[in-house]
Structure 1
Amino acid sequence: MRLPTKKTRTQPWIRALQETLGTSEMTFPKLRHSAPNLSYGRHKAPSYPRARQAANLILIYPNEQGNWTIPLMIRAETEGIHAGEIALPGGRCEPGESAQQTALREFCEETGHQVSVPAVLGELPPTNVWASNHQVRTFVALERSLPVWSPDPCEVAGLIFLPLSHLMDPRNFGMHQVTRRRVQFSALHLNVDGHRVWGATLRMLVELGEALTSAK
């Protein structure tokens, strides 16, 4: 599947996704600040010239009850600066590998489930992760069958599952305090099964939520 260009990538596939999911009645909370305080909008600014390239994948599929769901992973405690955080499956691009190839490969390596190329609907705007100096490209895929999971215990402490309707409900969002290098700041989070999803992962999910309600 040929991905849309940068100028058009946020429209055609969103309409198709919206029609497929039946999201015409969905609304998304108006989140003015999905990024933590003190981030100064850097996640949308130009990346550093030496930023490392990475990619991840948002997979939407029906769970056992037929509800559209997104898998998230809990990073293993050995995963460096982002250890223990909730993330979308993904990782750094290897030499000669396209961003989409990276997203599909990393998703399979981390969750044990292989997503096919035709399942990829398109791409969300890229996100800069300044804490680890990465520019991350996020792809969205849709499947109609229930995956069989086999997460890699070296990288993944566990999987949690986010119903799409849960993402679209403003009652599931809140604020918390974060301390980094003796600096404290507030950050928006999404509550999922007792876990707080925040930071870059939340920004990517917010992009998806906004996309689902922006197409007419």
Structure 2
Amino acid sequence: MRLPTGKNRKQPWLLKLQQTLGASEMVFPELRHSAPNLSYGRHKAPAYPRARHAANLILLYPSEQGDWTIPLMIRAETEGIHAGEIALPGGRCEPEESAQQTALREFHEETGHQVAVKSVLGELPPTNVWASNHQVRTFVALEDSLPVWSPDPCEVAGLIFLPLAHLMDPRKFGMHQVIRRRVQFSALHLNVDGHRVWGATLRMLVELGEALTSAK
């Protein structure tokens, strides 16, 4: 897949993607396979009454070869329950701040790259991250140029880069075993440069892949 630039940004499939992201509800049966065992569908159930609100951002941009790429971050080992995991840049909403403002602010703070409001295409359905009691809203943005990265070392141990073609390739997926509080269960993961992307982050990425498929 090649990234549309300039006047090509208004081609029909991209407009259809924006419409898909703007839908009030997207239903993709395939997504049931992206959730780990024992999740019991809680990622899509109504949020807990006291769930905290957070937002993150999926940025699509062209690599030096012109292929679509998504930046992911390795959380620093000091980042609580999700320490060391692969995640989308994002964080908790501040008072009087919209979810989109949170997503753009957190992306800038964590990666050092500022994404313009006009680059945001739309939003995926919210995801409940029940392990940390957050409801997360995920926004999707598209840029035409290669970003300059300057990640925050306090929050980010490193950045890895997911080619969009890998997200659309079933051969890049696998299963692994997870142990939480003496309970072992299986989980689907996506291989990215030797790292396993799984859980809520994988679910958000798979939803993007399904939206792109629908937009073709």
Same fold (TM over 0.5): yes
Tell me which stretches of 4 or more aligned residues in structure 1 moved more than 4 Å. Answer: none
Find the residue that maps to 1:61 and give its secondary structure.
strand
**1:91·1:106 contact (CA, 8 Å) conserved in 2?**
yes
> How has the CA–CA distance of structure 1 residues 191 and 167 changed in structure 2, closer, same or farther, with 3 Å as cutoff?
same
Give per-residue Cα distances to partners, 1:160-194, cap 9 Å, x unaligned: 00000010000000000000000000000000000
* Equivalence for 2:92: 92
Would you tell me which structure has more helix in proportion to its own residues?
Answer: 2
Give ranges in structure 2 of 5+ residues lacking alignment.
1-12, 20-29
* Equivalence for 1:23: none
> How has the CA–CA distance of structure 1 residues 125 and 212 changed in structure 2, closer, same or farther, with 3 Å as cutoff?
same
Find the residue that maps to 1:64 and give its secondary structure.
coil
Q: Distance in 2 between matches of 1:75 and 1:207?
A: 22
* Equivalence for 1:67: 67
Q: Distance in 2 between matches of 1:13 and 1:100?
A: 20
* Equivalence for 1:4: none
After TM superposition, the structure 1 = structure 2 runs for residues 168-207 of structure 1, keeping only pairs within 5 Å, are 168-207=168-207
* TM-score in terms of structure 1 length: 0.87
Give per-residue Cα distances to partners, 1:129-180, cap 9 Å, x unaligned: 0000000000000000000000000000000000000100000000000000
* Equivalence for 1:3: none
Find the residue that maps to 1:206 and give its secondary structure.
helix
Aligned residue pairs, count = 196
Find the residue that maps to 2:212 and give its secondary structure.
helix
* Equivalence for 1:52: 52
Q: Give the counterpart letter for 2:205 in structure 1.
A: L
* Equivalence for 1:78: 78
Q: Give the counterpart letter for 1:74 in structure 2.
A: I
Q: Distance in 1 between matches of 2:49 and 2:95?
A: 17
Q: Distance in 2 between matches of 1:50 and 1:64?
A: 44
Q: Distance in 2 between matches of 1:17 and 1:157?
A: 32
> How has the CA–CA distance of structure 1 residues 51 and 76 changed in structure 2, closer, same or farther, with 3 Å as cutoff?
same
Give ranges in structure 1 of 5+ residues lacking alignment.
1-11, 19-29
Identity %: 89
Q: Distance in 1 between matches of 2:201 and 2:58?
A: 10
> How has the CA–CA distance of structure 1 residues 104 and 184 changed in structure 2, closer, same or farther, with 3 Å as cutoff?
same
After TM superposition, the structure 1 = structure 2 runs for residues 124-143 of structure 1, keeping only pairs within 5 Å, are 124-143=124-143
Q: Distance in 2 between matches of 1:133 and 1:91?
A: 13
* Equivalence for 2:43: 43
Q: Distance in 2 between matches of 1:171 and 1:141?
A: 26
* TM-score in terms of structure 2 length: 0.87
Q: Give the counterpart letter for 1:190 in structure 2.
A: L
Q: Distance in 2 between matches of 1:126 and 1:208?
A: 12
Q: Give the counterpart letter for 1:93 in structure 2.
A: C
Find the residue that maps to 1:37 and give its secondary structure.
coil
After TM superposition, the structure 1 = structure 2 runs for residues 123-162 of structure 1, keeping only pairs within 5 Å, are 123-162=123-162
> How has the CA–CA distance of structure 1 residues 174 and 14 changed in structure 2, closer, same or farther, with 3 Å as cutoff?
farther
Q: Distance in 1 between matches of 2:68 and 2:99?
A: 25
